Amino acid sequence: MLMDKLRDGAQSKIAKIIFWLIILSFALAGVGSYLNRPASNDPAVVDDEVISAQTLEQSYQNERSRMQAQYGEAASKLLGNPQYLAQLKKSVLERLVNQALLNHQATKAGIRLGDEQIKDVIRQMPEFQTDNKFDNKKFIAALSRVGYTPESFANSMRQDLARQFWLDGVLTTDFVLPSEIQTLESLYQQKRDVKIITVSANAFSKQVSITDQDIDSYYKAHSNEFMQPEQVKLNYVVLDTKEMAKNIKPSDSELKTYYQQNATQFAQPARRKVAHILISDKDEKVAEKKANTLLEKLKAGADFAELAKTESADTLSARQGGQLDWFEQGVMDPAFEKAAFALSQKNELSGVVKSAFGYHVIKLLDKQDAIATPYEQVQKVVQQKYIDDKVKELFAEEQQKLSDSGFENPDSLDAVAENLKLTLQKTEFVSAQQLPAAINVPAVQEQAFAEKLRDENTNSEVIAVSDSVAVMLHVMDYKPSSVKPLAEVKEQVVAKLQIEKAAEKAHAEALAIQNKVSMGQSVDDLVAKLNAKVEEKKAVSRFGGDIPASLAQAVFKLAKPADKAVSAGFYADDQGNQSVLILEKVYTTEDTKESQLKQGLSQQLLKLKQEEAYGALIEHLRAKADIKYAPEAKELVD
């Protein structure tokens, strides 16, 4: 079973072990799944923590949106299946229950995260960065799209990180024994020689007869394969900054005024080159006292570079006598930067400066003040920045107008479009994946298929498609998911039946071959009669790319031959072709990358153990907890 788990999803030799990591979710949710928490018709209560109906619905809709964004049309088919939707909502509710249980444990353990810790984590999140730097505008825009303020998002992050820290403390106690790695390594390096006799399903396609009754029976038995996803007919209006920008045509005087008011944007920025000595200690008072002592020595004439080499905790710069590269404002720790830019004379020393890293003494080595660029050289840049700024102001104003107009005229977008001079756009019936490309994002999909808009026949809120596009919707009509009519999918049914029936005939012939092989009889005549394909595969590995992964899995499920007994089995590909697998030899080879292999296997085995430990932990916490489900929710989890 373990090797089967390792086999699934493997793609390359060492990478398939080192990088094919089993995802241990630990019940954490991403940015889009942080939820509001008002209580209403609570589907579950875990001890004293309420899981509200709104929390469940929002989390459920977020999961649907995530699936649609990640898997496209394939997700639409799944999400069109009522049974699958019920199972999805059940899994979301159970995840929320698990989160509540873990939250309680983190609270009991006294895990607390400070504001600065949370801020540091948020600043490092790639979702909020531009050119690898934290972008506050991007941060605010991203939060607004999922209904969060910076404070509420930080609180959600605080809870999730506390839960993660507690889990890390529990699950990282697992370890792997050398004997376990040795056994796993031996299995991984195992090779197998196999003979493959393949009977083509296509050879029997002309022998297949399909009746109307066959078609009708298959259609009814596999109706979930022929689902039409839910559809909506929409009216919508779009605010687009590109269209707004076309109407902004500043005069030369306006541009010059803008240039003068924002001169620093069009100048080469001021820079500083400094050296520093960093003193850090667990006891801040000790570190501060040492830094002050060093400052006195420097004022008395001590060599800065020599002290930096022997005393600075910043070992990289210490090798260079404390020297740092040139830097502009907005790069360094704020306190450090403020002190550095306050120095005006070469070789001037700062006082002792406290930063997030410790205590510094800073020496100015060189400086470059900001240099203004003449207007004529940057006129085009000035014009673009002027337009960009005006568009941002106008975009914010127009979104507010759109929101107000949509609220004042809730039952239609006609008046809204007229008031804001926007084009009223319309769709025919479309699924989530068929929404117009310009607005086809998860946030719009969620609103377009929200029951509230349909039931109340009201306009949506203003939805941020991106930082530069916003939309308002009105659902004009709705079709729930349904099975497509047989007439519409008859050709697909017939094609599937043909493959299935041809595969059945091929399987019967392959079974005859296997029976003869098992009895030690020759199958040459039968192979020739069926025009079966015979292949000899040597040194097949579990994770090699020489044969399909599913075929390799079937080969390694065969029992090792004992004495003169024949070990044989079946394999069917996705075209219905039937193969008899005859295992001829099992042996082990040495891997030249043994250390890498063992390290990768150790990581994999540890992940598997942690996954099992997590499952056992959740089961234990559930058994001890008082979990109450509302009647409607109980139907989901029973």
pLDDT in tens, 230-241: 999 999 999 999
Verify that 162 and 44 share a domain, yes or no: yes
**How open is the CA angle 130-438-82, to the nearest 5 degrees?**
105
Q: What is the pLDDT of residue 145?
A: 66
Contacts of 40 (CB under 8 A, 6+ apart): 52, 53, 54
* pLDDT tier for residue 636 given thresholds of 50, 70 and 90: low
Q: Which domain holds residue 240?
A: 231-248+387-480
Q: What is the mean pLDDT of residues 9-35?
A: 34
| 253 located within any domain | no
CB 449 within 8 A of CB 399: no
Top pLDDT among 414 and 259 is at: 414
- The answer on pLDDT for 510 being more than 90 is yes
Q: Can you tell me the distance from the alpha carbon of 303 to that of 297, in angstroms, rounded to the nearest whole number?
A: 9
pLDDT in tens, 102-123: 989 988 888 888 888 888 888 8
CB 282 within 8 A of CB 292: no
Q: What percent of the chain is helix, strand and coil (3-state, nearest 5)?
A: 55, 20, 30
Mean pLDDT estimate for the chain: 84
As given in the structure block, the two tokens for residue 134 are 């934290």
- How much of the chain, in percent, has pLDDT values that exceed 70? 89
Verify that 158 and 69 share a domain, yes or no: yes
Kind plus residue range of the DSSP H or E element containing 584: strand 578-588
Contacts of 423 (CB under 8 A, 6+ apart): 237, 238, 417
| 469 located within any domain | yes
Supply the pTM of this predicted model.
Answer: 0.49
Phi and psi based region of residue 539 (left: phi greater than 0; alpha: psi -120 to 50; beta: remaining): left
| 375 located within any domain | no
Verify that 80 and 93 share a domain, yes or no: yes
Q: What is the pLDDT of residue 147?
A: 63
Q: What is the pLDDT of residue 25?
A: 33
| 611 located within any domain | yes
Q: What is the pLDDT of residue 590?
A: 62
Split into its structural domains, the chain has a count of: 4
Place of tokens 């056992």: 616
Half-sphere exposure of 443 (CA within 13 A, CB side): 20
Verify that 155 and 42 share a domain, yes or no: yes
Question: CATH number of the domain that 326 lies in?
Answer: 3.10.50.40
Q: Which of 315, 343, 369 is the last residue of a domain?
A: 369
| 317 located within any domain | yes
Verify that 76 and 152 share a domain, yes or no: yes
Verify that 316 and 422 share a domain, yes or no: no
Strand residues in 54-154 grouped as ranges (E): 129-130, 133-134
pLDDT in tens, 165-207: 888 888 877 777 777 777 777 777 889 999 999 999 999 988 9
Q: What is the mean pLDDT of residues 86-97?
A: 89
Q: Can you tell me the distance from the alpha carbon of 447 to that of 460, in angstroms, rounded to the nearest whole number?
A: 7
Nearest residue to 236 via CA among 414, 446, 433, 478: 414
Q: Which of 308, 343, 369 is the last residue of a domain?
A: 369
- The answer on pLDDT for 560 being more than 90 is no
Question: CATH number of the domain that 173 lies in?
Answer: 1.10.4030.10
Q: Which of 458, 480, 502 is the last residue of a domain?
A: 480
Phi, psi angles (nearest 5°) of residue 368: -135, 120
Place of tokens 């009216």: 235
Q: What is the mean pLDDT of residues 25-43?
A: 42
Verify that 317 and 456 share a domain, yes or no: no
Verify that 53 and 171 share a domain, yes or no: yes
| 378 located within any domain | no
Distances (CA, A) of 263 to 257, 329, 379, 389, 605: 10, 16, 12, 15, 59
Top pLDDT among 54 and 358 is at: 358
Strand residues in 212-369 grouped as ranges (E): 227-228, 231-240, 267-268, 271-279, 327-328, 349-355, 358-368
Verify that 34 and 168 share a domain, yes or no: yes
Burial 489-523 (b: 16+ CB within 10 A, else e): beeebeebbbbebbbebbbebbeebbebbeeeeeb
Q: Can you tell me the distance from the alpha carbon of 252 to that of 376, in angstroms, rounded to the nearest whole number?
A: 11
As given in the structure block, the two tokens for residue 585 are 């030899």
Q: Can you tell me the distance from the alpha carbon of 45 to that of 39, in angstroms, rounded to the nearest whole number?
A: 11
| 199 located within any domain | yes
Verify that 465 and 529 share a domain, yes or no: no
- The answer on pLDDT for 277 being more than 80 is yes
Q: What is the pLDDT of residue 55?
A: 84
| 299 located within any domain | yes
Verify that 238 and 314 share a domain, yes or no: no
pLDDT in tens, 572-607: 998 899 999 999 998 887 655 555 666 777 777 778
Verify that 359 and 471 share a domain, yes or no: no
